[in-house]
Structure 1
Amino acid sequence: MLGKLITALDKFLFSNLKTINNNCVRWLFKLTWIIAVGFSLSGLLFYSKQAYNKWHNTPDISISIKSIPSRDIPFPAITICQPLVPTQILNGASIYYYFQDRNTEKIKSNLSSEFYNYLPIAVQTCLLQFASIALLKIGTNRTETNFMKLLKNAKYNFIFRHCEFRNLTLSCDNLLTQTLTDFGFCYTFNMQKYFEIFQAEILSDDFDFYKNEIRNESNNTNIQFVSRIRAEKKNSFGVLFEFRGKVQYCRHIGHNLKLIIHKPNEIPTIFHDSYFVEILRYKYFFINAKVNVINKNLHDYSTEIRQCYFEGEKKLKFFKNYSKALCEFECLTNYTLRICGCTKFNMPRENNTKVCDLDKVQCYQNIKELWPNINESSSDVSEDCKCLKPCTDIEYNFEVEKETIKSTNRIFSYDGTYFHTSFKNHVIDEHTKYVVYTIQNFIADCGGLIGLFLGFSLLSIYEIVCDFFVFSIKSISNRNFEKSIKSKNLFEKKILKNIQVI
């Protein structure tokens, strides 16, 4: 069959050579023709491969920017943390004296069992630098306690005096949700509900406090508070704090409040941007946002190329919604559990997972400080995590107003800290990534390369098909004609033979 095909191609391609009687010239012509076709096919394959790599492996990605109304995105969640030592261990003397052995005997004489119970809370939320000293001082004498229960009962000389939304005074209990961070319990504005964030069926009962959050309609207004307020410029949020009585601040933070800005469907983590508000000051923050979108023509590319996940491509164990920050936080949690045998108190966990005590503080702190290097260098960690951004994502950040009132004494009759925030502009930028070199461009380039190297087009295909069809019909007709001639000759021979016999 192959031999017949080669013979047919030889007749079809080199039919014009029949007029040349010199066999050497005919074979030389065939050889040069084959070489020319070989070079053309090689060039075609080489440049076609480059075009394929440009389309499939290294696509040309561009970004288009357009303005959209800020009301098209949700208002961010804002978490407020107070860096204070619990009041249960404030005994009239500075807690720092206890660790620095200043008048230790005098201090110890005034210490109660409550002090020793709550000292691990203060150390893990505020005084991490004293963890090893605290372990030496109280580690052997302390009775076993429920860390999370004590953490929930910790008290601070810190209250919310005033909360406002859309320039209307509302109940702080209705506006703020209690959330757990590495500072202990903080308060978050505009966060979604517990069952919308967590995979509650596998989460430890220690996080049940999220279920008790209150978010009711204010009695004074007709505004119904929902977990995703639109990010209109009029949707401003302000809060006033007051510190009452004796307070001791976390030394590594100073006299500042910590603010964490994140999306409403996330809990605050160390992987979110944080800002500080100086105590007894009035600060106005502007919110800037940017929307990142990936065009659907990138969907068929691998995650390594587009560097993001479309919805549903990556699932998290403890959270219903995927985000890069939550993925990093869950990955850090899993690695901490594997190395330390426990998790930090604010990390998501199952009921049978142990909460780290003072003896494990150094372990999880080392992991936290070295995490960027661990995540990049450790193959097992990076392979399990692969925390990329969602393909559709919103980035929030604060911009501090330059002209701020230095002291709240000018506004209020008592010492307090006030901050107010709203969107800076009515419009925000939407950045859309899309592939410039699409499959249509690839097909067009391949068509151009085929035309360049082989002089080929769709009409050429039609011509070849027609010629091959005609050639096939002629071959079949000739074969049938030859068969009929042979049959006729055989018939005539038989007749002649019979006549001779007679």
Structure 2
Amino acid sequence: MATTAAATTFGERAERRLHQRLAIGHAVWWIPSPKSRPRPSPAPRPRNVENVAQKLSFGAALKDLLQNFSFHCYGKLVEHGYRNHERFFWLIFHITALSVLIAFVWNTYKDETEVLVTTIYNPQYPVSEVDLPAVSVCSMNRISKRAVRYYAQQLSDKDHRHRNASFFYRELRAFGMYYGSEEYCDYQHVLGLQRFLDDKDTEPYELFFNSRRHLHDLTPNCSDMFVSCRLAGQAFDCLTQFRESLTNYGFCCTFNLRGRFFKPRPYSQRFFGADMGLTLTLKSDRNDNYYKMHKLVEGFANYPDPQSGGVSLRFVSSGRITQLPVIPRIIETVPEARHMSPQVRKCFFEDEIPHNFSQRYTFSKCISACRARSIFSLCGCLPFNIPMSFIPFAIGRVFCTLQHMECLQRYKFKWLNVITTREFMPGLEHELEDALYCPDCLASCSEIRYKVRGAMSLPLKGNFKPMTNSNYRNSNNNSSFDANNSYSSHDSSELAVVRIYFAETHIQYFRQIIKNAWYEIFSTIGNICGIIAGFSLIGICELLFFLAKQLWHAYKAELKAELCQSQSQSQSKARTGNIYEASGKANVEAIDEANQSQSQSLSLRPRQMQSWKLEMK
């Protein structure tokens, strides 16, 4: 028995030594999980010690980043062997380099308001591929005398006071106010005429006096103005190519209105030279003059654009040959600019907003539409010379009549001065306030601009014999042109010859391109940053990775702190509940014991009384 006990004691001691030798941290690889004595848990560190540890870890990470940074010379700030004044020098150097870098990049791009730059695309673009401009011919006599006499007789027949036609012939001079005349300032007298027209000269289907229809009837006809027309040396019928259209001056005769000559043409029809362009022989009947827009100029006005804004206006006098050499300039914007907003590129493509501008958008049409909306808003009427498509829901609206002339004259300055952007200009505050503001009107991204250069006027010879329209049809037959035409003599003082042609065989073709693409901006800034501060893309990636890593660690620490706080709160609640439960059980047990003792005392009392009775017996 003693031997067995000694062996057992020796085995226990050996096992204890093995456990002590194979404690955690000293275990060999063939023991999967040795048993060890539990270590005492470390005491919790105070909160300020944890913050210091976190700061040190961030500082150590930042130091490691600066030592291994791809940016140049940033390791000098934490490199061993440098004194404090040397580190301070490198810190000042890096701050200065970064300041210069930021200032240089800011000054380079702060004034970049234009995202498109205009460059010359083809300096020798053939003019034979350029569209022929639209040409409108308007007689300076805006109201025909013959038409006024006929209209005055109609009004006399409708008058219940039986006033003669001569009276209405004089009264109708007030219609010159539709074309901007200020001769008639007696608005009370004019309003009396307008009340008569509203009462007696309105059709049953009309709700108001239709000034557009009556002014169209009073305008001289195109057939009364044209004598002959030639294009590229070939005669054509004027009435088939010129169509009535609305312009700023009312109804005029417009050539190439639908863009028939916008298509590519052969070289022989490049319209270069005075003899190969558009040649018009116009006739001015002085006996038919009733109201002329400009008293100092007699004849016709030619301009290509039927809308206000981009108008090239030229006056042609009777008895003279006027040559109008046209120099076109093509400006095209690259299709890549469509991805930008119109406010950024500051222009509209012609098919971007076509709902208000019929076929295509132009800046001049937009200004006319803006002016028409302002007139309709301030005066409550639509000018007769503005297309109805410029104003939404304009069908059924009243056209401006004589009763609106006072309002139109009051705001005339406003509609003659149009601005698209408001910029402070000293001394022009009042003008900017009163001008018409059209912020939605931007320039056209792609357009052809026609400029008349060096207009020349020569006297017309006394024996000038133009070809009549009746011979144009014969000139298209198989017989020769010279054998079939005939000439009729006209007074040269009533005729005006206009020659519109291209002045150059080749023109300049401009193109608007994106000034700075993303890769150009990236390369420019990258070169500046690399030269001044030694930046590189790899270094930027390292810096971003460092920041992302630190943010992730901070997020994890915050999340862990919130989790620990929630666990501590739940444990405290559980402890409080256990205390309440234990106290409740103790109270219940005490109450039960008290009840039991009270019941025992009550049961003992009758027994004592009974024993006492027995003893008495």
Who is 2:383 aligned against? 344
Question: Does the 8 Å contact 2:372/2:382 carry over to 1?
Answer: yes
Question: Does the 8 Å contact 1:88/1:114 carry over to 2?
Answer: no
Could you tell me the TM-score, scaled by structure 1's length? Answer: 0.68
Question: Does the 8 Å contact 2:304/2:311 carry over to 1?
Answer: yes
CA distance in 2, matches of 1:119, 1:8: 93
SS of match in other structure, 1:356: coil
Q: Deviations over 1:278-330 (max 9, x none)?
A: 02333232222111234567667775675433455555624341111101110
The yes-or-no answer on 1:261 pairing with 2:304 is yes
SS of match in other structure, 1:45: helix
The yes-or-no answer on 1:364 pairing with 2:426 is no
SS of match in other structure, 2:189: helix
Who is 1:215 aligned against? none
Who is 1:149 aligned against? 213
* Code of the aligned partner of 2:407: C
Q: Evaluate the alpha carbon distance shift between residue 152 and residue 437 of structure 1 in structure 2; reply closer, same or farther with a 3 A threshold.
A: closer
Q: CA deviation at 1:148?
A: 2.4
CA distance in 2, matches of 1:275, 1:171: 24
Q: CA deviation at 1:379?
A: 9.2
Question: Does the 8 Å contact 2:349/2:361 carry over to 1?
Answer: no
Q: CA deviation at 1:396?
A: 0.9
The yes-or-no answer on 1:418 pairing with 2:497 is yes
CA distance in 1, matches of 2:410, 2:309: 14
Who is 1:394 aligned against? 448
- Asked which structure has the greater RCO (Cα within 8 Å, sep 6+), the reply is 1
Question: Does the 8 Å contact 1:70/1:427 carry over to 2?
Answer: yes
CA distance in 1, matches of 2:351, 2:116: 25
Question: Does the 8 Å contact 1:89/1:114 carry over to 2?
Answer: no
Q: CA deviation at 1:336?
A: 0.8
Question: Does the 8 Å contact 2:413/2:435 carry over to 1?
Answer: no
Structure 1, unaligned runs of 5 or more: 93-107, 194-224, 469-502
Q: Evaluate the alpha carbon distance shift between residue 166 and residue 135 of structure 1 in structure 2; reply closer, same or farther with a 3 A threshold.
A: farther
Q: CA deviation at 1:426?
A: 1.8
The yes-or-no answer on 1:111 pairing with 2:166 is yes
CA distance in 1, matches of 2:138, 2:435: 34
Question: Does the 8 Å contact 2:333/2:512 carry over to 1?
Answer: yes
SS of match in other structure, 1:143: helix
Who is 2:127 aligned against? 70
Q: Deviations over 1:319-362 (max 9, x none)?
A: 34111110111011011111111121111232132111112224
Q: Evaluate the alpha carbon distance shift between residue 458 and residue 328 of structure 1 in structure 2; reply closer, same or farther with a 3 A threshold.
A: closer
Q: CA deviation at 1:443?
A: 2.8
SS of match in other structure, 2:99: helix
Q: Evaluate the alpha carbon distance shift between residue 53 and residue 379 of structure 1 in structure 2; reply closer, same or farther with a 3 A threshold.
A: farther
Q: Evaluate the alpha carbon distance shift between residue 287 and residue 408 of structure 1 in structure 2; reply closer, same or farther with a 3 A threshold.
A: farther
Who is 1:187 aligned against? 253
Who is 1:40 aligned against? 97
Q: Deviations over 1:372-400 (max 9, x none)?
A: 54546249953x44423212111113345
CA distance in 1, matches of 2:64, 2:457: 90
Q: Evaluate the alpha carbon distance shift between residue 366 and residue 400 of structure 1 in structure 2; reply closer, same or farther with a 3 A threshold.
A: farther
Who is 1:50 aligned against? 107
Q: Deviations over 1:109-141 (max 9, x none)?
A: 65265775x54544424x722343476157256
CA distance in 2, matches of 1:155, 1:62: 44
Q: Report percent identity of matched pairs.
A: 19
CA distance in 2, matches of 1:79, 1:396: 14
Q: Evaluate the alpha carbon distance shift between residue 152 and residue 408 of structure 1 in structure 2; reply closer, same or farther with a 3 A threshold.
A: farther
The yes-or-no answer on 1:9 pairing with 2:62 is yes
Question: Does the 8 Å contact 2:135/2:302 carry over to 1?
Answer: yes
CA distance in 2, matches of 1:364, 1:62: 40
Q: Evaluate the alpha carbon distance shift between residue 170 and residue 132 of structure 1 in structure 2; reply closer, same or farther with a 3 A threshold.
A: same
246-255 or 163-172, larger mean C-alpha shift: 246-255
The yes-or-no answer on 1:176 pairing with 2:242 is yes
Who is 2:477 aligned against? none
SS of match in other structure, 2:498: strand
Question: Does the 8 Å contact 1:233/1:425 carry over to 2?
Answer: no
CA distance in 1, matches of 2:80, 2:310: 82
Question: Does the 8 Å contact 1:328/1:385 carry over to 2?
Answer: no
SS of match in other structure, 1:417: strand
* Code of the aligned partner of 2:314: Y
Within the candidate set 104, 128, 144, 1:86 is matched to 144
The correspondence of residues 152-163 of structure 1 with structure 2, limited to 5 A, is 152-154=216-218, 156=220, 158-163=224-229
Q: CA deviation at 1:276?
A: 0.7
Within the candidate set 246, 250, 264, 2:292 is matched to 250
* Code of the aligned partner of 1:152: H
SS of match in other structure, 1:130: coil
* Code of the aligned partner of 2:317: E
Q: Evaluate the alpha carbon distance shift between residue 3 and residue 361 of structure 1 in structure 2; reply closer, same or farther with a 3 A threshold.
A: farther
Structure 2, unaligned runs of 5 or more: 1-53, 68-74, 151-162, 202-209, 389-393, 423-431, 467-488, 547-617
* Code of the aligned partner of 1:154: L
Who is 1:201 aligned against? none
Q: Deviations over 1:424-481 (max 9, x none)?
A: 222112233446665445333423333344333457679x69x99xxxxxxxxxxxxx
CA distance in 2, matches of 1:380, 1:255: 32
Larger radius of gyration: 2
The yes-or-no answer on 1:354 pairing with 2:398 is yes
Q: Deviations over 1:158-206 (max 9, x none)?
A: 342222223222222211010123433210000118xxxxxxxxxxxxx
Question: Does the 8 Å contact 1:290/1:430 carry over to 2?
Answer: yes
Q: Evaluate the alpha carbon distance shift between residue 64 and residue 379 of structure 1 in structure 2; reply closer, same or farther with a 3 A threshold.
A: farther
Question: Does the 8 Å contact 2:414/2:435 carry over to 1?
Answer: no
CA distance in 1, matches of 2:287, 2:264: 37
**Over the residues paired in the alignment, what is the CA RMSD in angstroms?**
4.0
* Code of the aligned partner of 1:48: V
Question: Does the 8 Å contact 2:303/2:312 carry over to 1?
Answer: yes
Within the candidate set 520, 523, 532, 1:444 is matched to 523
Q: CA deviation at 1:247?
A: 2.0
Who is 2:279 aligned against? 238
CA distance in 2, matches of 1:63, 1:437: 13
Could you tell me the TM-score, scaled by structure 2's length? Answer: 0.57
CA distance in 2, matches of 1:11, 1:460: 14
Who is 2:370 aligned against? 331
CA distance in 2, matches of 1:358, 1:189: 31
* Code of the aligned partner of 2:504: N
Question: Does the 8 Å contact 1:163/1:240 carry over to 2?
Answer: yes
Within the candidate set 280, 285, 292, 2:331 is matched to 292
Question: Does the 8 Å contact 2:415/2:435 carry over to 1?
Answer: no
Question: Does the 8 Å contact 2:147/2:218 carry over to 1?
Answer: no
Question: Does the 8 Å contact 1:261/1:397 carry over to 2?
Answer: no
The correspondence of residues 265-280 of structure 1 with structure 2, limited to 5 A, is 267-269=306-308, 271-280=310-319
